[in-house]
Amino acid sequence: MKFRKLATVLSVAIVLPAAAAAQGYNLRLSGGIQGVSFRGYTADSIPVDSVVTTGNGSLETPNGYAVACATGNLYCNYWIPGPINTTAPAVAQAALTMWGLGLPGLRVQVNGYATTDFNTNASWPGTSPNLQLIEGYAEYAAPAWTIVAGRKLISGRLGAYGFDGGQVTGRLASAGVALSGYVGRGLAQGSNLFITSSEVNPQEDYLPAESPVVAGLIGTWNSPHAEVSAEYRREVDQTTKYFGSERVAASATLRLYGHYSVVGGAIYDMASGLWGSADAALRYATPKVGVVAGYRRYAPFYELWTVWGAFSPVPYNALYGSLSYQATKRLQMRIRGETYRFENADVLTPLVSIADSGWRFSVGGTYQFSNAWQAQLGYENERGTGAASSGWDGNVTFSPNGKYSIMVYGNSLSRPLEYRWDQSVVLVYGMQASVVARDNVSVAFTMARYDENRERPDAASFEWDQIRFGAKVIMTFSSADRLPLPKAITNRPAGY
């Protein structure tokens, strides 16, 4: 059944462009598969009477697993390493753009995929349902306005949000102003699915019975020295008419002087009356030097159909800076650092001591030995609440021409957790290769070995090695009349 669906999608994707009497089309077909394993935990329990006390006073099972015993309970809980889940997700994707279609200014975009997991015991996230439409819309663009109908993803400071509906945009090109409004049936966060889909609710939590109606406005203003946008978006329950969310946001890029610019923006949650994520950065960018110094605030966002917003998650505020420097024609170096602190959580936790601040730091460089050889080396360290990580990564790439390239790489990672005894130490070494087999066909292949140790002071520690692989084929097709450009493109409205 899964193979039949895959074949259907591929056939439709190939036949569509030929069937449509378009002035032109671009079609990207890709097929890929990867093999990867993951390993978690299995919860277990043991009667209190069977628990043993070790020399240092800790409680364990007779075979050495640390246990947690709650006062009054007859059983103590413990966690052992879970089974190794090996999955093999496969995807066949088609991304199609058609224009012309007998009407200058008309364009059709379709992007979707068929997917399955060849392992039946476990499934890689996102492999269900088997057919997923990311985008599929028709767009008609006139000089002063554009209209869109279908499934589209709106990207902006409020996030990438998908909906099934329509969008109308009006432009005053001479003033650099555009105003866009959209309305439709909203998709779930970060997903191609509706919130009512069981795939976005694997633990059967409280979620709405209907997908919300989403409506929004986007205004932009562009000038030689500034680009400004403002967004408004609301989600409303179709039955109760209660709000799922209501937010506004603004973004701006100001090119002040020479190579200096200021980039920033903020979100305000009108439903909760709280400021959301925000940032502001001063940037200095030349082909040789790039410097950024900025402030950042991160605040989680929850729709109002969950109770999580009422649990008052607190934002953190961060200062960060980065520098990239083209030291020579062959050597590029970069460094980045950030320090952050959570706002007061206003809660007493006398039995535990939890950090409320952290920092991140990374440094690296790229050296171009020749047109064919390139090496890269980097180090990253992150210390924060909940977890930390540090490690090296490096790779060497040989790419003698545009036809093929091969890269060998290695990574090391140390990742201690804060709330559980678990320090993963991972060593990775692998290769990835790509070949442009024909002008419109490229093939990529990756393979890596992962050596992982989970270090704990009890029997739950383990050593685990695995090999991951991935293979992908990408084919692109275009109408032969790309040059000279068809009317659908030469008649595009100004500003495009």
Partner 1 sequence: MRRILAPLVLALAVAVAPAAAQQGDQFNHAQHAKVFPTCTGCHAGALNDSRPLLPSGQSCANCHDGTVERRVDWQPPPPAGTNLRFTHAEHRKEVLAKAGQDSSLACQACHTPMGSAWMTVEPAVMPQCLACHGVKTAHLAAPDTACATCHLPLAQATTLTMAQVKEFPAPPSHDAPGFMSADGHGAQARAGTGPKTYLVAPSCATCHAQEFCATCHVNAPETPTIQALSMDPRSLAISVTLEAPATHAQDNFVLTHGKSARKSTAACQTCHTQESCLTCHITPPRAVGTLYASGPGRGAGAQVARSRPASHMADFSTIHAAPASSNPQSCEGCHARPQCLDCHRGTPERTPQYHPQTFLERHPAAAYSRETNCSDCHNPGAFCQTCHVQSGLGSPKGLLQAGYHDVFPGFLLNHGQAARQSLETCTSCHVEKDCLTCHSALYGRGFNPHGPGFDGEKLRSKNPQMCTVCHGLRVPSAK
In the bound state with partner 1, the residue whose beta carbon lies nearer, of 20 and 122, is: 122
160: contact with partner 1 by CB under 8 A = yes
In the bound state with partner 1, the residue whose beta carbon lies nearer, of 24 and 165, is: 24
228: contact with partner 1 by CB under 8 A = yes
Member of 259, 282, 295, 466 binding partner 1 (CB under 8 A):
259
Q: Which stretch binds partner 1 (CB under 8 A): 2-10, 15-23, 156-164, 397-405?
A: 156-164
Q: Which stretch binds partner 1 (CB under 8 A): 2-10, 14-22, 184-192, 397-405?
A: 184-192
In the bound state with partner 1, the residue whose beta carbon lies nearer, of 78 and 182, is: 78
Member of 22, 108, 214, 388 binding partner 1 (CB under 8 A):
388
Q: Are the C-beta atoms of residues 37 and 84 closer than 8 Å to each other? A: yes
2: contact with partner 1 by CB under 8 A = no
Member of 86, 135, 293, 461 binding partner 1 (CB under 8 A):
135
104: contact with partner 1 by CB under 8 A = no
CA angle 127–133–134, rounded 5-degree value:
95
Site for partner 1, residues 13 to 32, rule: CB under 8 A: 26, 28, 32
Strands (E), 343-372: 357-368
402: contact with partner 1 by CB under 8 A = no
Minimal distance, residue 268 CB to partner 1, in Å: 12
In the bound state with partner 1, the residue whose beta carbon lies nearer, of 20 and 227, is: 227
User: Residues with Cβ < 8 Å from 137, sequence gap 6 or more?
Assistant: 108, 109, 148, 149, 150, 151, 152
Kindly write down the DSSP assignment for every residue of 437-494, as one continuous string. Answer: EETTEEEEEEEEEEEEEEE-SSTT-EEEEEEEEEEEEEEEEE-GGGSSPPHHHHTPPT
Member of 213, 340, 374, 442 binding partner 1 (CB under 8 A):
340
- The strand pair at 177-186 and 260-269 is best described as unpaired
User: Residues with Cβ < 8 Å from 74, sequence gap 6 or more?
Assistant: 47, 48
User: Residues binding partner 1: what is the number (CB under 8 A)?
Assistant: 175
In the bound state with partner 1, the residue whose beta carbon lies nearer, of 101 and 157, is: 157
Site for partner 1, residues 303 to 332, rule: CB under 8 A: 304-314, 316, 322, 324
Minimal distance, residue 428 CB to partner 1, in Å: 6
How far apart are the C-alpha atoms of 170 and 142, rounded to whole Å? 9
Torsion of CA 198, 200, 201, 203, to 10 degrees: 110
How far apart are the C-alpha atoms of 226 and 156, rounded to whole Å? 17
User: Per-residue x/- marks for partner 1, 344-373, CB under 8 A?
Assistant: xxxxxxxxx-x-x-x-x-------------
Q: Are the C-beta atoms of residues 162 and 176 closer than 8 Å to each other? A: no
- What's the token pair of residue 69? 């015993």
Q: Which stretch binds partner 1 (CB under 8 A): 8-16, 107-115, 367-375, 398-406?
A: 107-115
Tell whether omega for the bond before 484 is within 30 degrees of 0, i.e. cis. Answer: yes
Q: Which stretch binds partner 1 (CB under 8 A): 6-14, 387-395, 396-404, 435-443?
A: 387-395
Helix/strand/coil percent split, the chain, to 5? 10, 60, 30
Minimal distance, residue 438 CB to partner 1, in Å: 20
| 482 DSSP β-pair partners | none
126: contact with partner 1 by CB under 8 A = yes
Give the dihedral sign, CA 140/146/147/152: positive
Site for partner 1, residues 406 to 435, rule: CB under 8 A: 409, 411, 413, 415, 417-421, 424, 426, 428, 430, 432
271: contact with partner 1 by CB under 8 A = yes
240: contact with partner 1 by CB under 8 A = yes
334: contact with partner 1 by CB under 8 A = yes
464: contact with partner 1 by CB under 8 A = no
How far apart are the C-alpha atoms of 125 and 39, rounded to whole Å? 14
Site for partner 1, residues 430 to 459, rule: CB under 8 A: 430, 432, 444, 446, 448, 450, 452
- What's the token pair of residue 96? 């199609």
Kindly write down the DSSP assignment for every residue of 385-432, as one continuous string. Answer: SSBEEEEEEEEEEE-SSSSEEEEEEEEEEEEEBSSSS-EEEEEEEEEE
1: contact with partner 1 by CB under 8 A = no
